[in-house]
Structure 1
Amino acid sequence: MKPGFFQELKDRGLIHQTTDEVALEKQLNDESVKLYVGFDPTADSLHIGHLLPVLMLRRFQKNGHVPIALVGGGTGMIGDPSFKDQERQLNTLDTVQNWSESIKNQLSRFIDFDDAQNPAIIANNYDWLGSTLLIDFLRDVGKNFTINYMMSKESVKRRIESGISYTEFAYQLLQAYDFLKLYEAHGCLLQLGGSDQWGNITSGIELLRREKEVQGFGLTMPLITKADGTKFGKTEGNAVWLDATKTTPYEFYQFWINTDDRDVIKFLKYFTFLSLEEIAAIEEEFVNAPEKRVAQKTLAQEVTTLVHGSQAYDQALRISEALFSGEIKGLSGEEIKQGFKGVPTYHVQAEDALNLVDLLISAEVVKSKRQAREDIQNGAIYINGERVQDLTYEISDVDKIDGHSTVIRRGKKKYHLLQF
């Protein structure tokens, strides 16, 4: 255990609420503590909304504590009502189990389950919830909580007017039971979660006190908000996933490189393992020369490397620089695919004419031959970053990156992709 770890978490702004802060800090300083975070499988991948708690588990492990990653194979079949406006869609057991396995594999990239000193622990609450009898659960868990106590939780109060099913109402009891089972199996004394989990966490502490007469602890992290008012974790309305097949490393890098100046230092403290001294030096450089965007570049490099590896970061940087400079020919087919995901794409058919004028119309880059000719003659058309002004130009194998992709640019920013 490293002294000052709890204070560092506070200095980074990572602590929103704690139960009995003095006792928790002493516990963390005196001994190796087992702690857990739950991840309900609501999709086949975690997204960056999960990244803060995942990295908190990593921080605790690096400081000598034992993280338990709890995959909610059981609770994921119900759904947590906390700060949700409406009830979640229920998924089948097979779907949730498949998603649970995917999430387990993702978590292993961030926390070490083979560490010789303090290996992390993976658990799945379906292992106990799936075999728990209703009568036993009501007698052993339900008896400890009054309806008034459960109704007092903010996560429940917010949903009372719009309606909440008994299924979701009982969710806090299931999460409390998880804490009890993890204490019994591993001696777990601390639960971490987002600020929306406070009610569920305190229910677990109450169950530990009543059933085991031990003091458990809770710690919540702040809700991440962006200075411009938009929701953190979304880009162009879509979630930013940790799975590279759902959000490419280039898209992931772009999310971080475009961080608002007002948020970037806070995010460096939240999402990187740079020391506070290193971050202070970056902040000073950033304040003196914000146009160099050193803080955003550092953030994008650190987080992209952490999630996808240094090779993926190098690739994302190469794509970004190529798109900025227009030097596209040096990119590979895979990099073209990443950099131009979502760009209008035309799949060239065998019968299509390969004359540039005709292809501009087929690919709907322009609407008429007259417009196509004018654009070519005026130097507004680029093939793989190079201007083409020849009206008789025909696309050939030379123009096909990795034999299958050609990028057409009209003007400064309008891109189209041809796939052969």
Structure 2
Amino acid sequence: MHDIRMIRDNPQAFDAALMRRGGSAMSSEILALDEARRTCITAAETALADRNAASKQVGAAKARGDEAEFERLRALVSEKKQEIAQLEEDAKAKDMALRDLLMGIPNLPHADVPDGKDEDDNIEIHRWGTPPKLDFTAVEHFEIPSVVPGMDFTTAAKLSGSRFVVLRGAVARIHRALAQFMLDTHVDQNELTETNTPVLVLEEAMYGTGQLPKFGEDSYRTREGWWLIPTSEVTLTNTVAGDILEAADLPRRMCAHSLCFRSEAGSAGRDTTGMLRQHQFEKVEMVSVTKPDESRAELDRMTACAQGILEALGLPYRTVVLCTGDMGAGAQRTHDIEVWLPGQNAYREISSCSVCGDYQARRMNARFRPEAGAKPEYVHTLNGSGLAVGRCLIAVLENGQRADGSVELPEVLHRYLGGKSRLTAEGVLA
């Protein structure tokens, strides 16, 4: 959410930043509503002062026997009471309207974010590894002979419909090993605090990180009113909602392995085969809460943490900075990491790391105290995939595939697989 004082002070700069994202100027609409709200508040305060003054005079008029003045003042007090109630109700309605308006406006991009309309305008900033040169035609993950027995979409469709999968045997174990490897790396090497959070959250939590009100159709809601998390960004970030943290406690760096649920409402017809785009998937998420002057550097650190997972697995990737037209609504700057998939002969997103500034913190009222006795300020928040487990499984299988249908597995996973190093053509770990 945006700071109304900043918009009052810099309406042209606010509009210019919004228009960089492909939006339109909104400061006039926002400030008109803000002015109407403030007018109601001022009128209510004036009416309250008039009522209080009249109330003090009522007793005096009664004492001196001035019945006419007594009745006039009593009527005025009653009239002002009704006027105050109406003005306060109007002010509250306008305040809610202003809050809803501000809630629906995307974050403003950092000055160092490239301008652009869509993914074609994103800029590559880093590349690691070389796509493998195979002496056979690579296939997609679900077509690899050794993978077919352990990746069952037919049974999943019988259970849940499209865009679900049942993993079995060796493939399920590799999937689990990847999540464990990611967690161990983030905790032991990257110094993130492992956190296990619920997958059902209250509506306020979804508002806090920006999934609501605008993107409700992308998530699932239960009949009881809980929401299934689209990522543990929601829960990890909201752990500081309503808090005033001490400066010494920042940065706070967390990670969590969780189930994630997305309706994929805007992806009709995209990636309908295989595991690339599912309604239910697993992800190891990273979240940082920082001081404002440290958040931009923290984005680079978080990006490096995600990149390190891919490098340890030996998976070629590239990192791009998203242009203004391709960023998510809550981000100030986003780095997408795209892993090489031989079966598609393309780089595909496996991690998205974003700095949100105080955009989420204002929605959650998450603050910190710069020093003892100082006025609390809003923290900055960041989130990033470290990594999407299913997509990482796809990358491991496709990059490790061999002509005989087997898969060579990354060395760092061997200890999680009982010392096994490959998936045989028959789908067995060996």
TM-score (ref. length: structure 2): 0.22
Instruction: Kindly indicate whether structure 1 or structure 2 has the higher relative contact order, using CA contacts under 8 Å at least 6 residues apart.
Output: 2
Largest Rg, 1 or 2: 2
TM-score (norm 1): 0.22
